[in-house]
């Protein structure tokens, strides 16, 4: 049974049983504390926690998920993959344990000709909480499961919770016995006797209790929830390899075609070699994961989600290289994954041009990285060998990995080819330190998220009413005050607190638009609004500083947005839509916005594009945008169901999460039609003017434009006009003659610089003869040390040192020159063949000199340099070289 068919049967089965069939949410998690959607229940967390009322009593979905915490195990086990799909069915105060168990058993065991999966019920084992008698009775008495196949476990092994006070409950986990060829038989109250025989394919979570404070599983159960919930997850890939009779998830129909294509490219055969099998599985998994991540709007970068995608793509390319493939691999592999996934996700085929452009660009960039990284690695290896060592330092391997994206296993492989080992432990220690820093950051974010208990209490009376679309001043009531995550009754002058109103005109930061500024007055208190956020859906939180008086919970208040701030914000946000539409008009529909930020007077917009915009293209985009402004296009908005908005052609931005009811903003009708919750002008002419100020790369396949709008744009143009006026007066030309005159001045300046450089080099070479004549015998060699003074560049110092060395003949000789280049002290050391035969190495001596300068250095045995920060230490640096030479 094909994976797409397993998926269809899941949705059909629960759809026929009155479940709302909910489409998969984006892989980009709406929860700021996690990067990706990591489980099928993530989109339903607010309904399970009770912070939001579920729009349906029961639901079903097949959710796209990404997990990368165990990426090193990908390809090595039957169960680990980065991208996977989780079949889920959910109940919010509707059916509970008996219903969930019946559904799971029926769909699992019903014959395939009747719409089920046809699994053998006699081979299904179930693990339960040892106190869950209700589930045990349903399984053994109603369904007829052999009691020996029901394993009862303590709470620490069979319980779900969020890690903080809130819902919790036991699980019922369904395992399938794959047969004796996969491992020993279960016995002694366990379904984990070793091997891959018993595969957990479905987990039923019963959200039954309210848990209290505590760490790990050591917390009290405070009682049963008023509204119980069901959250189940069945691994689609696991069911697929069970039903398709495959060994593991890599061999199912949505994954294996990429392995077959990689076999064809590499000439390696799957099943012939353990390490090659791992590499082929890594390629198949990571190519599919990358396809789906880019499809959901992630672009490669050096942080966050983009870094995870970059790592997946680079691991794919690296694995193909280790399989012997040096040519670009993704143009062969990515289309195969697209075709395998399109039956379930047709959007990856429809959007393939954009997806492939980003993926291929990243591969090209990494291939260049491999070239530069190889050069750096070769240099490091040569230095180790020249110093008589046999191990590449861990910090060098880490720098290759962290700075250049050079994989550690490639470093290990290439170092071994040249007879060296790598200090893997040192590398691992540095990696561990980096992960701990990242983990601490994630913990801090999670802690901030967890502190929302007080905010959830303030959300219970209802959502904050936003009045800012139609008014800037609103009478309201202070619902509550929060300081350091704790509800407080009063805030005094000088304090900064979070304040929640029942009604507000203040726009909370979202959709790329910065939050509003303004004042709130309450019972004589004046509060400056510093920030406005929406940490919980439906709750607007104002961060305020108490300027005068004191404010109490329950006080009547007047919230007033700064009208100048709001006008600038409206101009900038509408300007963002106009620039987006202009980009699509000039470049084509593929130039889709992938992110934005706007505040009064300024906007930036990231969009999918794989090359820099020429000056002519930038001018054209700017002209199209300003023509639209001059045409005084109408700006309107309306609410409609999300499917209707998509059919209407409204653009939904990658990574954004939308409700079923959405707000569509139009500028000039269909010319600009986007889903947006921001504040906007009434007519495009109110934007004033748009002036593009910059365009740059923000990652592979992604560009960024920046612009000023309104008065800020006018001020920018005025500054440029003043600059042009100053230049024309200085150069005595008309404005239109400026480019030619400036080009002439620059050309003459370059010629003068060349002439000066020639004169300077001549002076240095004239000094070479005198320095060579002054060489003194020190230890095994003739030695020249000299402090040159200020030089234009290190190249001048190098030229002089090589000239002096050449004048010293075949006898062992060494030259050490010190100088200041670009305000930094530097020492250049050069040795001839005789000196090197005597054991004098330029690299080691340059490093020694650099230590005296408070810096570092090194290089080859014949020529090397070192630098630092303390120019006054140049005499000491040269003396250190002299002393080392004297000691031989």
Binding residues for Zn(2+) are: 573, 577, 676, 680
Strand ranges, E, within 157-277: 159-161, 166-177, 198-211, 221-235
Q: Is the Cβ–Cβ distance between 268 and 259 less than 8 Å?
A: no
Name the H helices within 611-709: 615-630, 642-647
Query: What CA–CA distance (Å, rounded) separates 467 from 470?
Result: 6
Neighbours of 61 (CB within 10 A): 25
Query: What CA–CA distance (Å, rounded) separates 535 from 452?
Result: 8
Known binding-site residue numbers: 573, 577, 676, 680
Name the H helices within 405-525: 408-417, 424-450, 453-459
Bridge partners for 530 per DSSP: none
Residues 6 or more apart in contact with residue 279 via CB below 8 angstroms = 75, 319, 320, 322, 323
b/e per residue 705-730 (b: at least 16 CB within 10 A): bbbbbbbbbeebeeeeeeeeeeebee
b/e per residue 646-681 (b: at least 16 CB within 10 A): eeeebbbbbbbebeeebbbbbbbeebbbbbbbbbbb
Strands 702-709 and 198-211: unpaired
The CA-based dihedral angle spanning residues 365, 370, 371, 377, taken in that order and rounded to the nearest 10 degrees: 140
Query: What CA–CA distance (Å, rounded) separates 434 from 440?
Result: 10
Q: How far is CA 320 from CA 266, 333, 376, 410, 848, in A?
A: 8, 10, 22, 12, 42
Closest CA to 5 of 363, 300, 253: 253
Query: What CA–CA distance (Å, rounded) separates 774 from 767?
Result: 11
Angle at 538 between CA 533 and CA 539, to 5 degrees: 45
Strand ranges, E, within 729-839: 776-778, 781-791, 813-821, 824-831
Phi, psi of 704 (to 5 degrees): -135, 130
Q: How far is CA 541 from CA 140, 370, 479, in A?
A: 51, 48, 10
Closest CA to 601 of 517, 542, 496: 517
Bridge partners for 160 per DSSP: 169
Q: What single DSSP character describes residue 534?
A: E
Q: How far is CA 775 from CA 785, 836, 878, in A?
A: 8, 17, 14
Q: How far is CA 40 from CA 200, 298, 306, 838, in A?
A: 16, 19, 22, 69
Bridge partners for 241 per DSSP: none
Closest CA to 124 of 100, 151, 98, 97: 151
- Helix-strand-coil percent breakdown of the chain, rounded to 5? 45, 25, 30
């Amino acid at each position: 049974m094909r994976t797409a068919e397993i998926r269809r049967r899941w949705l059909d089965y629960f759809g026929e049983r009155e479940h709302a069939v909910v489409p998969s949410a984006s892989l980009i998690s709406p929860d700021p504390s996690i990067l990706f959607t990591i489980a099928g229940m993530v989109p339903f967390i607010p309904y399970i926690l009770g912070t939001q009322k579920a729009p349906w009593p029961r639901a079903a979905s097949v959710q796209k998920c990404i997990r990368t915490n165990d990426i090193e195990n990908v390809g090595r086990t039957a169960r680990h993959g980065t991208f996977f799909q989780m079949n889920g069915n959910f109940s919010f105060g509707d059916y509970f344990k008996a219903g969930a168990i019946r559904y799971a058993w029926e769909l699992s065991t019903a014959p395939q000709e009747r719409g089920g999966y046809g699994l053998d019920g006699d081979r299904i084992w179930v693990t339960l909480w040892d106190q869950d008698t209700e589930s045990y009775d349903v399984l053994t008495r109603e369904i007829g499961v052999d009691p020996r196949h029901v394993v009862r476990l303590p709470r620490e092994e069979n319980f779900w919770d969020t890690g903080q006070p809130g819902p919790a409950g036991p699980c019922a986990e369904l395992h399938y016995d794959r047969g004796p060829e996969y491992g020993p038989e279960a016995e002694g109250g366990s379904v984990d006797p070793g091997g891959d025989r018993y595969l957990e394919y479905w987990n039923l979570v019963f959200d039954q209790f309210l848990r209290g404070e505590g760490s790990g599983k050591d917390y009290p159960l405070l009682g049963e929830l008023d509204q119980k919930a069901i959250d189940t997850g069945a691994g689609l890939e696991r069911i697929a390899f069970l039903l398709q009779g495959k060994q593991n998830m890599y061999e199912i129909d949505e994954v294996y075609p990429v392995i077959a294509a990689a076999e064809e490219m590499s000439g390696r055969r799957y099943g012939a070699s353990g390490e090659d099998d791992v590499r082929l599985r890594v390629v198949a998994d990571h190519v599919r994961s990358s396809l789906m991540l880019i499809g959901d709007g992630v672009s490669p970068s050096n942080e966050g989600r983009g870094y995870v995608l970059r790592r997946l793509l680079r691991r794919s390319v690296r694995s193909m290289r280790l399989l012997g493939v040096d040519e670009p691999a993704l143009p062969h592999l990515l289309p195969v994954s697209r075709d395998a996934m399109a039956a379930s996700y047709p959007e990856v085929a429809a959007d393939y041009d954009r997806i492939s452009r980003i993926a291929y660009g990243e591969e090209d960039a990494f291939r260049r990285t491999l070239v530069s990284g190889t050069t750096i690695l070769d240099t490091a290896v040569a230095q180790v060998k020249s110093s008589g060592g046999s191990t590449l330092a861990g910090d060098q391997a880490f720098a290759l990995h962290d700075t250049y994206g050079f994989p550690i296993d490639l470093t290990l492989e290439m170092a071994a080819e040249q007879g060296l080992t790598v200090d893997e432990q040192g590398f691992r220690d540095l990696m561990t330190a980096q992960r701990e820093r990242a983990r601490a950051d994630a913990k801090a974010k999670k802690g901030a998220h967890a502190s929302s208990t007080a905010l959830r209490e303030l959300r219970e009376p209802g959502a904050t009413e936003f009045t800012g679309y139609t008014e800037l001043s609103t009478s309201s009531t202070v619902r509550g005050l929060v300081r350091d995550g704790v509800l407080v009754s009063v805030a005094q002058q000088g304090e900064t607190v979070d304040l929640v109103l029942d009604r507000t005109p203040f726009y909370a930061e979202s959709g790329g638009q910065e939050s509003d500024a303004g004042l709130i007055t309450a019972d004589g208190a004046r509060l400056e609004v510093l920030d406005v956020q929406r940490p919980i859906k439906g709750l607007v939180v104002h961060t305020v500083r108490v300027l005068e008086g004191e404010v109490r919970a329950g006080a009547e208040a007047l919230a007033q947005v700064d009208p100048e701030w709001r006008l600038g914000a409206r101009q900038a946000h509408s300007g963002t839509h106009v620039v987006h539409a202009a980009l699509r008009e000039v470049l084509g529909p593929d130039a889709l916005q992938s992110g934005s930020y706007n505040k009064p007077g300024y906007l930036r917009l990231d969009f999918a594009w794989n090359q820099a915009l020429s000056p002519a293209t930038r001018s054209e985009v700017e002209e199209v945008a300003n023509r639209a402004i001059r045409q005084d296009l109408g700006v309107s908005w309306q609410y409609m169901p999300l499917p209707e908005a998509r059919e209407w052609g409204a653009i939904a931005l990658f990574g954004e999460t939308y409700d079923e009811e959405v707000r569509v903003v139009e500028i000039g009708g269909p010319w600009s039609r986007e889903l947006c919750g921001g504040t906007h002008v009434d007519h495009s002419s109110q934007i004033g003017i748009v002036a593009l100020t910059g365009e740059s790369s923000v990652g592979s396949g992604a560009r960024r434009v920046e612009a000023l709008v309104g008065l800020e744009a006018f001020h920018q143009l005025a500054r440029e006009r003043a600059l042009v006026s100053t230049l024309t007066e200085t150069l005595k030309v008309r404005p239109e003659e400026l480019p030619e005159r400036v080009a002439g001045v620059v050309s003459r300046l370059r010629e003068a610089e060349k002439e000066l450089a020639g004169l300077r080099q001549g002076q240095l070479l004239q000094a070479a003869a005198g320095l060579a004549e002054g060489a003194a015998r020190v230890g095994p060699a003739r030695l020249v040390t000299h402090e040159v003074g200020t030089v234009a560049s290190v190249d001048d110092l190098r030229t002089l040192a090589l000239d002096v060395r050449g004048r010293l003949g075949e006898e062992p000789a060494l030259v050490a020159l010190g100088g200041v280049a670009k305000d930094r002290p530097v020492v250049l050391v050069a040795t001839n063949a005789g000196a090197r035969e005597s054991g004098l190495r330029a690299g080691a001596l340059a490093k020694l000199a650099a230590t005296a300068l408070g810096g570092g250095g090194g290089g080859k045995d014949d020529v090397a340099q070192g630098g630092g920060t303390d120019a006054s230490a140049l005499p000491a640096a040269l003396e250190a070289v002299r002393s080392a030479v004297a000691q031989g």
